[in-house]
Amino acid sequence: MSVGRAGQGPTAGGDETNDRYKWTALFNVTLGVLMATIDGSITLIAMPDIFRGIHLDPLQPGNSFYLLWMLLGFLVTTSVLVVNFGRLGDIYGRVKLYNLGFVVYTFFSLLLSVTWMTGRSGAMFLVVMRVFQGVGSALLIANSAAILTDAFPQHQRGMALGINNVAGISGTFIGLVLGGLLAPIDWRLVFLISVPIGLLGTVWAYLKLEERSVRRPGTIDWPGNVTFALGLIGLMIGLTYGIEPYGSSAMGWTSPRVISALACGVVLLVAFAIIETRSANPMFRLPLFKIRAFTAGSLSTLLSGIARGGLMFMLVIWLQGIWLPEHGYSFTRTPLWAGIYMLPLTTGFLLAGPVSGLLSDRFGSRPFATGGMLVSAASFGLFLVLPVDFSYTWFALILLLNGLAMGAFASPNRAGVMNSLPPQHRGVGGGMNSTFQNSAQVLSIGIFFTLMILGLSSTLPGALTRGLGAEGVPAATVSTIAHLPPVSILFAAFLGYNPMQHLLGTSVLAKLSSAHAHVLTGQTFFPSMISAPFHSGLHKAFLFAIVACLVAAAFSWMRGGRFVYADPTTATSHPEPSPLLVEGRLSPDVAAVLGSPERRAP
């Protein structure tokens, strides 16, 4: 094994044109990440069929717990464990842990598809299996970027990481369509589809992937692991329960349970930061934040994820609850068509991601990542001026623009982050960056739903009172429905139910005239009631997304010029001056990261 160019390490030595391993690694790693991210969203569209299949009404009091955690348990688990597994990959081998991820993921995907239980016990079984599936996802995601960085030379990493990162992000949207196609046939298929893919990936990974990183033996930082995991779990639990009603309040932010969870989460994460500064072998390499390119890229990842994560939920509700019913689609068909109509977003990701990654190899990450965030902010501005009953042509064009912008940001930003890391810290550094990305999605969902519920709370009760009263619904029933938590209305639209038929029930509808019953359960009554309140909440959410994108663009610009880690033992062969070297010496920041004093490069 020969040593290649600086920053490339021993992994890409020899004749690069004959090094087929890097393409093998790219195929397998992209397959794994795509599978994991598809399952992160496939249940989103399949949820009505899943709950019908296990004979559980998700809109009944108390059942929203299963709804939320079937969606978010997977994401929370991945967010909590991805840094831990990145650090373990640095110690025990990245390929070893990645391969284990394929096994774990495939096994629990199979278990998800064979449950025999129904009702709440069946729902709890699915929630628990989704959590373990998230463990497999964390193993895959934590080590994928580091494996590719080890396999590809510096001048091709942007392209490789771009394909991998865009495949991961686009998998979120591909899952929407797959869920809509498979769930009506049999809800178990949304989990079973991962099994043959997982088997192929497992066999391929064990046969073909090579451990090209240099392992760094070390002890496991148990205090850091425990405080980080429990702290992040506390924050995630607080965020998810914060959007549920509490007492007479539309949301649960004043609930003692939510306040306690958030407070405990913050305290534990502060304790984690203190522990990491004193640990001999820290899980979370805080000195990496001294590398400006890493810090700026990671903060940009967090903010772009916050802007993007809740977008999918808002657009699905917009399409399923309002636009599609108003244009003649039955509520049972809206989940599938919502996924189909959002395909321009995926197309934008797929087009811009690899191209921007390839160009960033030549010109650096900053112009593409920063420009992507600025264009993304502009696309959210266009959503602001789009009417609720829009022309789909304009909706599709704005979706495409948003996908192009996010794709242009994601690949160069990921490449910039990974290129800035010393080889021995690529696993933990990549895991830290993935934690920002996955945590941002859960945080974004909490923020977007909170802003949406705030908008609905002020106008929806009055709109429902007037509309239901005009159709002859008894006053007591009107009062009950009008004072339902807005999140219940959102979930009804989100799950593809006919909300009025579900909320009124057959007993109330039977007492009304056929004309009134027909209007109430028709395609347009619910959309007309919710459109104005929904638009109010949507404006707040999009304004927040614009601010998040602009701040992400600012952090992205602060990363500085092109920044590629150069191995100090071979730094003189680097084709351009390395910002890690200052007058022939390692900069103090980098010396601190490497845990060694300044050294003169040869």
Q: Quick check: is 13 in a domain?
A: no
**How far is 310 from 317, CA to CA, in rounded Å?**
11
DSSP string, 396-422: HHHHHHHHHHHHHHHHHHHHHHHHTS-
Backbone dihedral region for residue 279 (phi beyond 0: left; psi -120 to 50: alpha; all else: beta): beta
Q: Quick check: is 587 in a domain?
A: yes
pLDDT digits (tens, 9 = 90+) for 314-365: 887 788 878 988 888 887 777 778 878 888 988 888 888 778 877 887 888 8
| In a shared domain, residues 210 and 270 | no
How many domains does the chain fold into?
A: 3
Here the tokens at position 303 are 């903010």
pLDDT digits (tens, 9 = 90+) for 299-309: 998 899 888 87
**How far is 371 from 506, CA to CA, in rounded Å?**
54
Q: Quick check: is 10 in a domain?
A: no
Compute the average pLDDT of residues 238-250. 76
Confidence at 497, pLDDT banded by 50, 70, 90: low
| In a shared domain, residues 315 and 331 | yes
Least confident of 362-376, 508-522, 572-586: 572-586
What percent of the chain clears pLDDT 70, i.e. is strictly above it? 86
Here the tokens at position 394 are 């304009």
Here the tokens at position 171 are 């998998």
Confidence at 584, pLDDT banded by 50, 70, 90: very low
Confidence at 366, pLDDT banded by 50, 70, 90: confident
Q: Quick check: is 489 in a domain?
A: no
**How far is 422 from 301, CA to CA, in rounded Å?**
19
Look at 451 and 372; give whichever has higher pLDDT.
372
Confidence at 15, pLDDT banded by 50, 70, 90: very low
| Residue 246 to residues 255, 458, 459, Cα–Cα distance (Å) | 6, 17, 19
| In a shared domain, residues 571 and 550 | no
Confidence at 576, pLDDT banded by 50, 70, 90: very low
| Cα first-last separation, the chain | 22
| In a shared domain, residues 54 and 133 | yes
Compute the average pLDDT of residues 180-204. 88
Sequence-distant (6+) residues with CB within 8 A of 259 are 238, 253
| In a shared domain, residues 274 and 322 | no
| Nearest of 143, 433, 83 to residue 291 by alpha carbon | 433
**How far is 339 from 182, CA to CA, in rounded Å?**
12
pLDDT of residue 413: 87
Look at 209 and 14; give whichever has higher pLDDT.
209
| H or E element, residue 190 | helix 189-192
Here the tokens at position 593 are 């990261």
pLDDT of residue 370: 92
**How far is 475 from 481, CA to CA, in rounded Å?**
10
- Which of 175-179, 420-424, 550-554 holds the top average pLDDT? 550-554
Question: Among the three residues 257, 282, 307, which one is the final residue of a domain in this structure?
Answer: 282
Look at 397 and 330; give whichever has higher pLDDT.
397
**How far is 419 from 337, CA to CA, in rounded Å?**
40
Residue 151 C-alpha from the chain's centroid: 25
Here the tokens at position 555 are 């952090």
The residue range of the domain holding 252 is 221-282
**How far is 440 from 446, CA to CA, in rounded Å?**
10
Compute the average pLDDT of residues 240-256. 78
Compute the average pLDDT of residues 183-211. 88
| In a shared domain, residues 225 and 258 | yes
Look at 12 and 222; give whichever has higher pLDDT.
222
Q: How many CA atoms lie less than 13 Å away from 515 in the CB half-sphere?
A: 3
Compute the average pLDDT of residues 455-463. 80
| Nearest of 481, 487, 485, 488 to residue 466 by alpha carbon | 481
Report yes or no: 276 and 525 within 8 Å, Cβ to Cβ.
no
pLDDT of residue 358: 79
Q: Quick check: is 542 in a domain?
A: yes
Residue 44: count other Cβ atoms within 10 Å of its Cβ: 23
pLDDT of residue 152: 84
pLDDT at 94 over 50: yes
pLDDT of residue 392: 93
| Residue 495 to residues 18, 101, 235, 353, 498, Cα–Cα distance (Å) | 51, 31, 26, 31, 9
Confidence at 295, pLDDT banded by 50, 70, 90: confident
Least confident of 17-26, 250-259, 315-324, 492-501: 492-501
| In a shared domain, residues 68 and 167 | yes
pLDDT of residue 372: 92
Question: In this structure, what DSSP letter does residue 320 have?
Answer: I
DSSP string, 112-143: HHT----HHHHHHHHHHHHHHHHHHHHHHHHH
pLDDT digits (tens, 9 = 90+) for 104-163: 999 999 999 888 888 889 989 999 999 999 899 889 888 887 888 888 887 777 778 777
Assign residue 114 the CATH number of its domain: 1.20.1250.20
Confidence at 541, pLDDT banded by 50, 70, 90: confident
Question: In this structure, what DSSP letter does residue 214 have?
Answer: P
CA dihedral for 256, 262, 265, 266, sign (positive or negative): negative
Output the CA angle 198-199-203, nearest 5 degrees: 115
| Residue 370 to residues 156, 169, 479, 557, 584, Cα–Cα distance (Å) | 20, 18, 50, 6, 31
Report yes or no: 592 and 287 within 8 Å, Cβ to Cβ.
yes
Compute the average pLDDT of residues 179-191. 86
| Cβ-count burial 374-395 (b if 16+ within 10 Å, e if not) | bbbbebbbbbeebeeeeeeeeb
Q: Is 241 exposed, middle or buried (0-12, 13-18, 19+ CB in 10 A)?
A: buried
Report yes or no: 490 and 452 within 8 Å, Cβ to Cβ.
yes
Q: Quick check: is 374 in a domain?
A: yes
| In a shared domain, residues 450 and 372 | yes
Q: Quick check: is 484 in a domain?
A: no
| In a shared domain, residues 543 and 587 | no
Question: Among the three residues 241, 262, 282, which one is the final residue of a domain in this structure?
Answer: 282
Question: In this structure, what DSSP letter does residue 319 have?
Answer: I
| In a shared domain, residues 95 and 244 | no
pLDDT of residue 575: 37
Mean pLDDT over each residue of the chain, to the nearest integer: 79
Phi then psi dihedrals of residue 600, to 5 deg:
-80, 130
**How far is 144 from 560, CA to CA, in rounded Å?**
26
Confidence at 378, pLDDT banded by 50, 70, 90: very high
pLDDT at 77 over 50: yes
pLDDT of residue 598: 35
**How far is 47 from 29, CA to CA, in rounded Å?**
28
pLDDT of residue 546: 93
| In a shared domain, residues 251 and 333 | no
| In a shared domain, residues 233 and 358 | no
Compute the average pLDDT of residues 56-62. 71
Question: In this structure, what DSSP letter does residue 286 have?
Answer: G
pLDDT of residue 595: 47
Compute the average pLDDT of residues 86-97. 82
Q: Quick check: is 492 in a domain?
A: no
Compute the average pLDDT of residues 481-496. 72
pLDDT of residue 494: 66
